[in-house]
Amino acid sequence: MSTVCPQTMPHAQLELLYREHHGWLHGWLRQRLSSSADAADLAQDTFIRVLLARSAGSLREPRHYLATVARGLVIDLYRRRSLEQAYLDALALRPESYEPSAEERALILDSLLAIDRMLDGLGERTRAIFLAVQLDGLSYEKAAERVDVSVSTVRKHLAKALMHCLLLEDE
């Protein structure tokens, strides 16, 4: 979590924003999510994000801004849930019995989430090669076999994926 910066929105301003738009935002989310508990949570999270954002200042179009922030949170929630389910499924398929603690699971899920976000925007082939080498630990030769390309293509796509991840960190 980021820390509160000196430039954040003054408390009174946030309170006003909350009072005027919270009901609207909750309704907006409720229309888009079929769970009212999720909608309530995300509406709260949106205001927390706004509170922590440096750039909030005075908003010319507060609802547009709130909706943009909320939309990002919805995508994140969806991403997290799909990953959590896929991870539990993958875990259940493992031959040996291995049960990570709740804490371990949360850490692993966080790292999967970070990686999943980083890999957004990579092409299918680049992604497959990256996963084979970096996450499955395959040699270039084995990865080349799996994806059915040459070893030099594996090198090229691996470099491309790594560069993509590094540049994302800058943003």
Partner 1 sequence: MKVALNQAVDWYVRLNDSQVTDAQRAAWQAWLAEDPCHAQAWARLEGLRQRFEQAPQGLASMALENARYSRRTAVKTLAALFGVGLVGWQGYQVSPWSADYVTRVGERRRVTLADGSRLDLNTDTRVDIRFDAGQRLIHLLHGEILVQTAKDSRPLSVHSTEGRILALGTRFSVRQIGALTRVAVEEHAVEIRPRLAEAQMLRVEAGQACDFTSGRVGDLRPAQTSASAWAQGMLVVVDWRLDDLLAELSRYRSGYLGCSPEVAALRLSGAFNLDDCEATLASLQDALPVEVHRMTRYWVRIDQRKA
Nearer to partner 1, 14 or 165 (CB): 165
Which two structure tokens, joined as six digits, stand for 47?
């205001």
Cα separation, 128 vs 111, in Å, equals 18
- Among 3, 34, 58, 101, indicate the residue that binds partner 1 (CB under 8 A): 34
Q: What angle do CA 63, 69, 70 make, to 5 degrees?
A: 85
Cα separation, 122 vs 159, in Å, equals 12
- Among 4, 15, 35, 54, indicate the residue that binds partner 1 (CB under 8 A): 35
Cα separation, 81 vs 99, in Å, equals 19
Q: Is 114 an interacting residue with respect to partner 1 (CB under 8 A)?
A: yes
Q: Is 71 an interacting residue with respect to partner 1 (CB under 8 A)?
A: yes
Residues that bind partner 1 (CB under 8 A): 32-38, 71, 74-75, 77-79, 81-83, 85-87, 89-97, 99, 107-108, 111-112, 114-116, 119, 131-137, 139-141, 155, 158-159, 162-163, 165-167, 169
